[in-house]
Chains A and B, each alone.
Chain A
Amino acid sequence: MSAVAANYNLLQDLGVEVISMSVDSQFVHKVWNDNELSKMAGHDVPFHMASDGAGRVGTMYGVYNEDAGVEFRGRFIIDPDGVIQGMEVLTPPVGRKLEETIRQIQAFQHVRATKGAEVCPAGWEPGKKVLKPGPDLVGNVWKVWSPLTDH
């Protein structure tokens, strides 16, 4: 979570709100912010640090491990209509990469801005080639997009 806190401005630039969630109480969140996260990020955690003590929210999102009583690293991208566009769930020992979350948000925002007229192929980043789905493109993606040079 320190990576998200430290680079929060990148998410703000995209108009994104962040909510973090664990089974710890809001009081422990405060102490974690005060004693560790703020030192790693260089500033206080700028987003809501929510508490899911009984794992109810985690259960709804399929990321609560009842046996361990903790939540997996579940990351959900929710669009302005409240629809989940992307999710990534990792077991505890490996962290996420914020750049990948940002890339996916940028891609979903591009698709939304074009009302689905343009879609983002594998490895897409802003500025890279988009595809325009339609009858002419069927069977012809190989002519306009290469996994070797455009990926």
Chain B
Amino acid sequence: MADQPVGCAHPIGATVGTDPAETNEQQTTKQKEKKMSLARVGAKAPDFEAPAYYKGGFTSVKLSDFPGKWVVLCFYPGDFTFV
């Protein structure tokens, strides 16, 4: 996982000014698919790719980067919260 260039970027990682990757129609279909792939025990974990901070650098992380490994995925409400 190579470091990603850090520039004036949208917080979710897409660089400002880049062309949209897909049309609205495609996005709508994709969103529907995503809603259907809701996580449940005993089923395959939905794959994702997200921008990440890792050991001093900015990179991206993909669930399918860890085949054959146990993974604990932890969501939490926000950085700098109290609990």
Contacts and interface: CB of A to CB of B under 8 A. Distances in A.
SS of B interface (majority):
loop
Interface residues of A, number: 68
A49 B41 contact: no
Contacts of B81: 92
Contact of A44 (B44, B56, B73): B56
19 contacts: A11-B72, A18-B74, A19-B61, A19-B71, A25-B12, A28-B79, A32-B80, A44-B56, A51-B51, A57-B50, A61-B38, A74-B73, A75-B75, A76-B74, A78-B71, A80-B70, A82-B64, A83-B42, A84-B39
Q: Which 9 A-B pairs have the closest CB atoms?
A: A53-B12, A25-B11, A29-B53, A32-B79, A74-B75, A50-B50, A48-B61, A71-B75, A60-B46
Interface of B: 10-13, 34-35, 37-48, 50-56, 58-59, 61, 63-64, 66-81, 83
